[in-house]
């Protein structure tokens, strides 16, 4: 498939890039879980804020390292430009997972809490689904498994539609404006996180010109 050309010895620089991007996703999942734990039970704290932001900074540093390796590789191997461009595109999607973890923690800072709410199980179910998606996508990407990537993309595309429905539902809640705003933003951030993870997976199944469209509405891809 698209990145199959670069599967080879562990010393190949593009293997290092692939492992770094997979680690960015795993670390993004840690930040995501830390932030959402606070939404469901922990509440805000300086320690949680530091942990989320420190993890995100580490992800940013890995993104910079990926870009340095890509520039060096492109200079030495200009024939590999198309694949270098693919990695340059998807590394920013991996980085965005950490950014949305910070956004989720901001909900806690603003006073949102789902602890004890009537729909807590449903809200937490979606949180678990996104966390599992991030981890599975990281592993699928690192293994360069195009078949699993395609199956995961189809599954996750259904989640995007569900999040849109959930956001729309909040506009009909006139009794709890604060709760409706928190839920609308929560589902929106879950959707954006999911879309960026899916963009990473497109590198396994799509050519360069078709990358990076899952954060668009289906009719606009």
Question: Is 70 exceeded by the pLDDT of residue 217?
Answer: no
* Structural domains counted in the chain: 1
The count of other CB atoms within 10 Å of the CB of residue 26 is 18
Alpha-carbon distance of 119 to 126, in angstroms, equals: 11
Calculate the CA dihedral of residues 81, 82, 83, 86 and round it to 10 degrees.
120
Q: What is the CATH number of the domain that holds 206?
A: 1.20.58.220
In a domain, 65, yes or no: yes
Higher pLDDT, 65 or 6: 65
In a domain, 178, yes or no: yes
Predicted pLDDT at 174: 74
Alpha-carbon distance of 24 to 62, in angstroms, equals: 7
> Could you tell me the residue range of the domain that residue 67 belongs to?
11-220
- Return the structure tokens found at 184: 């609308």
Predicted pLDDT at 2: 40
Alpha-carbon distance of 133 to 66, in angstroms, equals: 23
How far is C-alpha 183 from the geometric centre of its chain's CA atoms?
19
What confidence tens digit (pLDDT) does each residue in 48-91 have?
Answer: 999 999 999 999 999 999 999 999 988 888 878 888 888 999 99
In a domain, 158, yes or no: yes
Cβ(28)–Cβ(151) below 8 Å: no
What confidence tens digit (pLDDT) does each residue in 112-151 have?
Answer: 999 999 999 999 999 999 999 999 999 999 999 999 999 9
The CA radius of gyration of the chain, in Å to the nearest whole number, is 18
The count of other CB atoms within 10 Å of the CB of residue 35 is 28
- Return the structure tokens found at 190: 């879950």
Residues 6+ apart with CB under 8 A from 160: 191, 194, 195, 214
In a domain, 36, yes or no: yes
What confidence tens digit (pLDDT) does each residue in 143-174 have?
Answer: 999 999 999 999 999 999 999 999 999 998 77
- Return the structure tokens found at 199: 């963009």
- Return the structure tokens found at 213: 């469209």
In a domain, 3, yes or no: no
pTM of the model: 0.89
Predicted pLDDT at 190: 98
In a domain, 162, yes or no: yes
Predicted pLDDT at 24: 98
In a domain, 6, yes or no: no
User: pLDDT over 70 for what percent of the chain?
Assistant: 88
Question: Is 70 exceeded by the pLDDT of residue 214?
Answer: no
Query: At how many degrees (to 10) do helices 120-143 and 146-169 cross?
Result: 160
In a domain, 212, yes or no: yes
């Amino acid at each position: 498939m698209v990145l199959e050309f670069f599967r080879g010895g562990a010393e190949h620089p593009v293997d290092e890039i692939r492992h770094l991007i997979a680690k960015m996703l795993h670390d993004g999942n840690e930040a995501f879980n830390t932030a959402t734990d606070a939404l469901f039970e922990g509440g805000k704290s300086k320690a949680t804020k530091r942990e989320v932001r420190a993890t995100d900074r580490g992800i940013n540093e890995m993104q910079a390292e990926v870009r340095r390796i890509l520039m060096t590789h492109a200079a030495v191997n200009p024939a590999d430009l198309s694949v270098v461009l693919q990695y340059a595109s998807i590394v920013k999607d991996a980085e965005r997972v950490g950014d949305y973890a910070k956004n989720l923690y901001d909900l806690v800072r603003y006073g949102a809490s789902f602890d004890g709410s009537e729909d807590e199980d449903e809200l937490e179910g979606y949180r678990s689904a996104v966390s599992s998606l991030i981890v599975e996508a990281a592993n699928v990407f690192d293994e360069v498994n195009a078949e699993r990537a395609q199956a995961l993309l189809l599954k996750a595309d259904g989640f995007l539609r569900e999040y849109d429905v959930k956001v729309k539902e909040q506009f009909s809640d006139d009794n709890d404006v604060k709760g409706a705003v928190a839920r609308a933003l929560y589902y929106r951030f879950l959707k954006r996180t999911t879309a960026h993870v899916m963009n990473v997976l497109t590198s396994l199944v799509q050519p360069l010109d078709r990358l990076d469209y899952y954060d668009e509405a289906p009719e606009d891809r």
